[in-house]
Amino acid sequence: MKALDNDTVAAWTFLTPALILLGLFIIWPIVYLFYLSFTAGSFTSSGIYWVGLKNYWRLLQNADFWQVIFNTVYFTIGTLVPSLIISLGLAVLLNRSIPIRGILRSAYFLPSIISVVAAGLGFRWLFQDTGPVNGFLSIYGIGKVSWLADTFWAMPVIILFSIWKQIGFNMVVFLAGLQAIPPSRYEAAELDGANDWQQFWHITLPGLRSTLIFATVTTAIFTLRSFESVYILTGGGPLNSTNLLVYYTYQEAFGQFDFGYAAAVATILLAVTLLLVYLQLKTWGDE
């Protein structure tokens, strides 16, 4: 048997504490979650018991679950596309030498560091029946809208809140990507007579390919794990129209105390998240 050299021993010595923490706080919870999704019962004296695939079969037959899936897809796409487009546009604008550029960068990034709870309460105040938004609309003769109590308007309000929170982070990511593109490419394009749109389409977008992939995946994961916005603004209502996967898991686990079923929902969410990460790593690896 080949003896370990000093460098290998040192490497494992330094890695062991991190690997132990990784196993205890990440790997083990995932394994236990997967096991729990095949059980029923509660953490009381009655205990939990094995039910096999029953929880997953319940998911397939539950109309509320499919409503939550639709809501989550709607919310994810509604947040993802505008936040990427707006963030990229702001990054291109703020990458140029314009007055108060630093102040504008800070202002657009500020929502990303504000507490979700505080920001959510602010949005709830803005869109309440007697709030400033309805007050502004009344100036133009538009009647009161029950934004957070209407099955049509409640989700757009949450999407607007999510976009507002995500724009600053994506803008910083795009700014970093723009600054990594060599200026010589733009200089050569100008000499060839390319206008701003042609430079953006043929130089900026190809140069931001990896950045776009990263921003897309991180934004998708951000939307999939959204909980606070739903909890504060609508509580999943009205009529389940704004319920998302994470909030639905919370309801089933801590509202209905159906931990096995909630674990099955969380396992589905984990699988989707891991798939997104895999696609990101695979796409980067192919470059």
- Give residue for tokens 């749109």: 197
Q: Dump pLDDT digits (tens) for 188-241.
A: 888 888 888 888 888 888 889 889 988 998 899 889 989 999 999 999 989 999
Q: List the domains of the chain with CATH numbers.
A: 63-285 (1.10.3720.10)
Paired with 41 in beta bridges are 48
User: CA 39, CA 224: separation in Å to the nearest integer?
Assistant: 25
CB 105 within 8 A of CB 94: yes
pLDDT at position 162 is: 95
What SS3 class is residue 82? helix
Record the tokens describing residue 286, joined without a space: 């192919």
Distance set, CA 144 to CA 113, 122, 147, 232 (Å):
32, 19, 9, 21
Q: Dump pLDDT digits (tens) for 151-200.
A: 999 999 999 999 999 999 999 999 989 988 888 888 888 888 888 888 88
Residue 253 has pLDDT above 50, yes or no: yes
Q: Dump pLDDT digits (tens) for 111-164.
A: 888 899 999 999 999 999 888 999 999 988 888 889 999 999 999 999 999 999
Residue 109 has pLDDT above 90, yes or no: no
Helix axes 154-179, 116-126, angle to 10 degrees: 130
Average pLDDT of the segment spanning 7-15: 83
CB 34 within 8 A of CB 260: no
Ordered alpha helix ranges (H), 180-226: 183-191, 196-199, 205-207, 209-224
